[in-house]
Each structure stands twice: as structure tokens, then as C-alpha cells.
């Protein structure tokens, strides 16, 4: 039987925050105190929303997006799961830019092996995932996310959300919270 798992990319299998922070520092921005407890990048860097949206889009469409490091133990456990017959489908709010999308796919292939991610659906920068997840409605698949709103969108489609723990979602009481991919592996194994 084919085992399929839906995953977000940034903050789930890739360490987008780390790379974005380097980008922001290079452009003269620093995080505010307590930034790791904030999801909103405008709050995190103390700048207005239109400016941060523009900076995120520039970053997501830059060459850097093809070289994001893995998040925590993602390589070890995602590749282990792939070896055990799991298929991964990514749904990511990266960009509609075709070159950014190619870089995202190449980054995933480089880190996790070609074919581990069967499908990579790239939505517009910051886009909601409701419509993209509707394709998997009622499937009961696991849906690994870091943003509680996107986990809820998956739950509404009959998916089983798991949140990857970050400072901004630690107060979550609605979904299973995993510190790393070892814990995700244990959850999906039952």
C-alpha cells in the first residue's frame, strides 16, 4: 500500500527562517526582542507589512531559495521514510515565479534525493493553502505544517495535521506538536 504524506516546506523540511534572517541582516534589518515567538515577519523585524511582503517575495525569488538548509533532522527521517515506501507531496507558498519553483524542487531533490517529493505545488508568496489542500479532501493523509492556520485548513479538508514546533506555535493546543522529524516519524508509524 502506498503511504503518502503532505508537507509544507519552509519551517517543516527546510530552514527558511535561518536563511531569511541572514538575508535581512545583509540588508540592514535586525530582529526585535522576542522575535522567535512571532510568526509575522513585519512584527519580527519591526517594519511595516508592505515592506516585509516585498522583501519576502524578493528573497523567495532569489537564488538563495535553491540553497536552503534542511530543518533539524529532516534529512535523516524524510529519507528513512522514503526508503520505507512513503511518498511526499509538498504544498508551499513560495512564489509563482517559474525559476523560484525550479530552485525549490532542485533544493528538495539535492537534500532528500530525487523522487522523494513526488509533487511540489508552489503557490504565490504567502498564499493560503485551502484550495490546494482541497485536492486531498477526505483522504485522511497526514499534513505537516508549521502555521496553525494552515494546519486548520488541512483539518477542514479531512487531513490529519501535525505542527512542527517553533517559538510562534508552541501555545498550540489544537494539533499534535512535533519538535523534530523523529517525532513526526513516530506519530505516523502509529
pLDDT digits (tens, 9 = 90+) for 53-80: 999 999 999 999 999 999 999 999 999 9
Residues whose CB is less than 8 angstroms from the CB of residue 120 and which lie 6 or more positions away in sequence, other chains included: 9, 89, 90, 92, 101, 104, 105, 108
Nearest to 153 by CA among 174, 131, 172, 138: 131
Among 13, 26, 11, CA closest to 62: 26
pLDDT in tens, 154-188: 999 999 999 999 999 999 999 999 999 999 999 99
pTM for the full model?
Answer: 0.96
pLDDT greater than 70 at residue 1:
no
Amino acid at each position: 500500500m502506498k503511504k503518502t504524506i503532505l508537507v509544507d516546506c519552509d519551517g517543516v523540511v527546510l530552514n527558511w527562517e535561518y536563511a531569511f534572517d541572514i538575508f535581512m541582516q545583509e540588508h540592514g534589518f535586525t530582529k526585535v526582542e522576542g522575535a522567535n515567538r512571532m510568526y509575522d515577519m513585519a512584527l519580527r523585524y519591526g517594519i511595516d507589512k508592505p515592506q516585509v511582503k516585498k522583501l519576502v517575495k524578493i528573497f523567495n525569488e532569489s537564488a538563495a531559495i535553491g540553497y536552503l538548509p534542511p530543518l533539524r533532522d529532516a534529512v535523516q527521517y524524510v529519507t528513512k521514510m522514503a526508503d520505507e515506501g512513503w511518498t511526499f507531496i509538498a504544498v508551499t507558498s513560495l512564489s509563482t515565479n517559474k525559476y523560484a519553483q525550479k530552485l525549490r524542487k532542485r533544493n528538495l531533490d539535492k537534500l532528500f534525493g530525487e523522487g522523494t517529493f513526488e509533487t511540489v505545488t508552489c503557490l504565490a508568496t504567502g498564499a493560503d493553502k485551502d484550495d490546494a489542500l482541497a485536492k486531498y479532501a477526505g483522504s485522511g493523509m497526514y499534513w505537516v505544517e508549521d502555521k496553525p492556520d494552515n494546519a486548520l485548513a488541512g483539518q477542514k479538508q479531512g487531513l490529519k495535521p501535525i505542527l512542527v514546533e517553533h517559538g510562534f506555535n508552541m501555545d498550540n493546543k489544537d494539533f499534535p506538536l512535533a519538535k523534530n522529524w523523529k517525532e513526526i516519524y513516530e506519530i505516523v508509524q502509529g
